[in-house]
A and B are shown apart, each in its own frame.
Chain A
Amino acid sequence: MTVTTKGALGELFDESLYSTINRFYIAEAWLLDERKLRAWLDLFTEEMVYYMPRRKNVNRKELAREIPERGTDLPFFEDNRKLMEVRIQRLESGTAWAEEPPSRTRHLFGNLVIEKVEDDGTVHAKTAFICHRSHGETTTALYSGYRVDILHPVDGSWKISDRTVVLDANVILDKNIAIFF
């Protein structure tokens, strides 16, 4: 029996659903950090979008335009499945110098909030993250941000059809965004 209540933040809170989505994200973090990128990409649907907007420095009263609306701006990423395949195939080639030798990353996904569950089981969830990247001998970068996902129940697990990654940064303090979140 599932118990659905309102969580502390007023979000929908179903213990069993919360637990399964949380475990999904923990498994995702390990795939990224263990460099199993093809398995990671398989967590997404064929019609997927991996989207990362810019984040502008604006006055508090203009925060509505801090993150430009999708379709109006130049995001860091707005990749469909094919473009993501290009990224993964590139990294697998052994000559993608941005990640050769590969980075050591550690992704911590947390603060899960399930915002909406649709009748067909589609879940809208957001998570916060911290990610540390260590590359080459001494290069490091620390990313933080949040992700907003649309997930679908597929064959006993979940597939992401739409991911928005918002970094807590204006000017990115890393030599390239050659890792995923």
Chain B
Amino acid sequence: MKTKKYDVLNTETGRLDPTIYSDEEIYKEEMEKIFGRAWLLIGHESLIEKPGDFFHTYMGEQPVILSRDKTGAINAMLNICRHRGARVVRTDDGSCKSFVCPYHAWTYGLDGKLEWVPGEEELYDGTIDRAEMGLKKARVATYAGLIFATWDHDAPSLEDYLGDARWYLDLEFNRSAKGTKAFGPHKWVIPINWKTAVDNCSDWYHVPYSHASAANALTRIMGAPRMTSDVLWKKKGRAAFVNGHQVCFFRLPDDSFDGNPYGMDSTEENHAEAIERLGELRGDGVMLGTHSLFPNTVLGFRIVIPRGPNETEFWHFSHTNAADTPEKQREVALEHAAQNGAGGHFESDDIDNWNQVSQSGKYAGAREIGQYINMGIGNTTTDDVFPGQLSDRFVSEQNHRFFYSRWQEFMNADSWDDIPLDPMKANFEGTASMDG
């Protein structure tokens, strides 16, 4: 059966159909066509350090157990018992030898294999094929400690999926051979369509007004850098877009917010390592700004978990450079949380905007007038040094348009064969790799 074709964005005018935020049928299709196919960020290696450790997470709406088995391998498994569908794991995390379903005690190994069924001989007469009845497993891959999974066995490798976006992601996640450490997450439920939190990752247009109260108070009391329009609109960085992933980057030293001579690094030593691992330009001259990974990883290490067209569970992790001292890591983590956690100065002020953008799809008047993401339209460029499709200015709606075009590519595709990947062209200077 041919897939229904969506045409929700006019790429010449930037007009967007808000029905995509509120329609129940579209939402159901997203769960299959996007969350059933894409590589999804589901955790971090530091959350399951030792064999036996597990962490409960989600792939789209679906509950997933992330575990490290006896061999040290990482497994992502649907947290649904093969017998009757009860959840095998009911805690946030822990450490164990096997997973026992609380309903009838079907018992699975850390790798998801069905190990034991009560009454296997006495009640089932030996008819259970245990080899066929393990927990449903997802494909797993890691990038610099971040753990991704996909249900689609035809999906490209994670390396190809991230593509040249990794050139930018390395700026934050791959600075040290020690990797990063994850703290958290905060978990809270917000009344928004998941996409509004994702496209917002490239939206620096809203910052001087939506976040004025937070930025101004932080400047006045803490001496934090100003985030006013006269500062932000002149940034030399750009928005870049690769394979559905949105990146906003800053150029150092010109765009530096706080004048730290080591850019993102806290010490001269860390800075030297970052240059060795990323090369001179990436280690010293570019800073990762806000970013998202298609479909639902937002700004750093945060996940928006869809719960319905107008309900999303937000997970906020803070991630820190493991090369930093524990005290420094804690300071960074707490700063992240104070700004963008459940009670964050910045995050708190976004929710009603996203809620109302999402709700607008329900109203005939809003569907008639549409929404507009047309800033900087027609001005996208490419560059020999900076990978991806680049905006002409730092503040732009280029990535909003590309995000919804990518959404449409997934929704209109019959399979991964119909989903294009940008060719990899970036020059990955330095020693950092997918493996950290």
- Which A residues contact B (CB, under 8 angstroms)? 52, 54, 56-59, 62, 71, 73-79, 82-83, 85-87, 89-91, 93-99, 136, 139, 170-178
Contacts and interface: CB of A to CB of B under 8 A. Distances in A.
Chain B interface residue number, banded: 35 or more
B330 A98 contact: no
Given A58-B91, A87-B345, A172-B189, A96 B214 contact: yes
Contacts of A82: 221-222
B345 A74 contact: no
A171 B349 contact: no
B258 interface: no
Interface string B321-359: 000000000100110011001111101110111010000
A58 B94 contact: yes
A177 B343 contact: yes
A97 B355 CA distance: 12
Given A59-B91, A98-B352, A89 B343 contact: no
The 3 closest A-B pairs by CB, nearest first: A98-B348, A177-B343, A176-B348
B152 interface: no
Interface of B: 90-94, 183-191, 209-210, 212-214, 216-218, 220-222, 313, 316-318, 330, 333-334, 337-338, 341-345, 347-349, 351-353, 355
A77 B338 CA distance: 7
A175 B190 contact: yes
A98 B349 contact: yes
Contact of B341 (A57, A74, A95): A74
A122 B187 CA distance: 35
B187 A170 contact: yes
A74 B333 contact: yes
A90 B343 contact: no
A133 to B, nearest CB: 13
A92 to B, nearest CB: 9
- Of B91, B191, B217, B345, most A-chain CB atoms within 10 Å: B217
Given A74-B333, A95-B209, A62 B349 contact: no
